[in-house]
Amino acid sequence: MRYRVKAFVPGTGVTSLIVDALDEQEALARLRRDGTQVLSLAADASRGWLTRSPRFPLVLFTQELIALLDAGLSLTESLETLAEKELRAESRQVIEHLLEIMREGRPLSYALAGLPATFPALYAATVRAAESTGDLSPALTRFIAYQNQVDTVKKKVLSASIYPLLLIGVGTLVIAFLLGYVVPRFADVYADAGRDLPWMSRMLLNWGSLVQTHGIWIAGGFAMLFAALLAALSRPETRALLTRAAWRIPAIGERLKTFELARFYRSLGMLLVGGIPIVPALGMVSNLLSVRLRSGAALATESLRHGEPISTAFARSGLTTPVAARLLRVGEKSGRMGEMMERVAVFHDEEMARWVDWFTRLFEPLLMVFIGLTIGLIVVLLYMPIFELAGSIQ
């Protein structure tokens, strides 16, 4: 959910911010952790799910910026060039805002941090680390590689879910056609026949009679229920509730933890490779974790401040798997912790892809069997009286 915040930022003064968070408590905690004094906070009602503006093309913007920097242009000249060529007013306003902040003498990372809804905290942290070393173009290239890897994992999960969703949609339409059109027609036929029907057939035909009598009200009720379901799913609170429920299922909860840890390790590894120390980097990426694991990140941060090794602090905080724990110990000995975290992320991404493939191969046949049995049961219950009549005639 988006919140409009009026706050006092040290070194800047009173300013207006836009913050994305699940609720007010998370928004306040995120701002206070950055040293910001909140003066007022209110939900941003200007961007509902029906009036969502186009997203800023972050990856394309970054790729074009890298090309201009590699061509020898300065950072300001590169942003001015991108603003001139941008056709969409929303994107051009974002770039011009960055230029305006930089002309005041502020670094690019500061300007990016002021637009958290457009530029993720990880993006701003990457630029901040590159500003201290002077290698902005390589740092942005690492972010592009990171974003491409994350998008690849999301595409695998999405492509694996398309066919099951298609089956569910087609099966639901067929069942709705049978219950809403075919069953009422059979109810008329059997009502005139005057024969005793099996109990389950009578229940099904009673439903058909109900549809004939109150079909408009039933259709309206289902439409309202579907709209209410869509509205509920569009709310972050509902999605958070469903996520917590999924975490309680042992098999699914373990896979969700693996997925989150893979993204967490990839983000943390990229920051470490960029030269950011482990404690600040951990604070930057802790928001990528769910509430269940975020407390573990805070505990690991305290342990690291007290001088504990990374592998020990992460293991005690529940932020490791057996494979991750071993690779972290190897990274501590070799001094290449950032690379090892990226290897951990790759391993878990491949493990997650194999599990998704196995799950879809098992779930799709089971779903087809369930839909087929449901449709077959409806058809058999409709034709059972005809079978009994044929038997009595013989």
In whole angstroms, what separates CA 215 from the centre of its chain?
38
Amino acid in the structure at residue 306: H
Q: Quick check: is 384 in a domain? A: yes
214 and 318 belong to one structural domain: yes
* Backbone phi, psi, residue 214, to 5°: -125, 40
pTM: 0.61
Query: Residue 30: pLDDT band by 50, 70, 90 thresholds?
Result: low
63 and 41 belong to one structural domain: no
| Model pLDDT for residues 95-107, shown as the tens digit of each residue | 888 888 888 888 8
| Model pLDDT for residues 186-209, shown as the tens digit of each residue | 776 666 555 566 677 777 777 777
More confident residue, 167 or 391: 167
In whole angstroms, what separates CA 203 from the centre of its chain?
42
Q: Quick check: is 125 in a domain? A: no
Q: Quick check: is 130 in a domain? A: no
Query: Residue 293: pLDDT band by 50, 70, 90 thresholds?
Result: confident
Q: Quick check: is 224 in a domain? A: yes
* CA–CA separation, 128 and 282 (whole Å): 15
The structural domain count of the chain equals 3
* CA–CA separation, 313 and 304 (whole Å): 7
296 and 381 belong to one structural domain: yes
Residue 37: its H or E element: strand 37-43
CATH number for the domain that contains residue 34: 3.10.20
Secondary structure E strands in the chain: 2-9, 13-20, 37-43
294 and 371 belong to one structural domain: yes
151 and 40 belong to one structural domain: no
* Structure token pair of residue 233: 């799913």
Domain holding 101, by residue range, is 53-119
Flag the least confident range among 146-155, 163-172, 190-199, 364-373.
190-199
78 and 183 belong to one structural domain: no
CATH number for the domain that contains residue 374: 1.20.81.30
Q: Quick check: is 94 in a domain? A: yes
Give the full edge-to-edge strand order of the sheet including 37-43: 13-20, 2-9, 37-43
Using alpha carbons only, give the angle 300, 304, 305 rounded to the nearest 5 degrees: 120
23 and 85 belong to one structural domain: no
The pLDDT, as a whole number, for residue 50 is: 33
- Left, alpha or beta for 72 (phi > 0: left; psi -120 to 50: alpha)? left
Q: Which residues are 4's β-sheet partners?
A: 18, 42
Q: Quick check: is 128 in a domain? A: no
Q: Show which of 119, 144, 160 is a domain's final residue.
A: 119
pLDDT at 75 over 80: yes
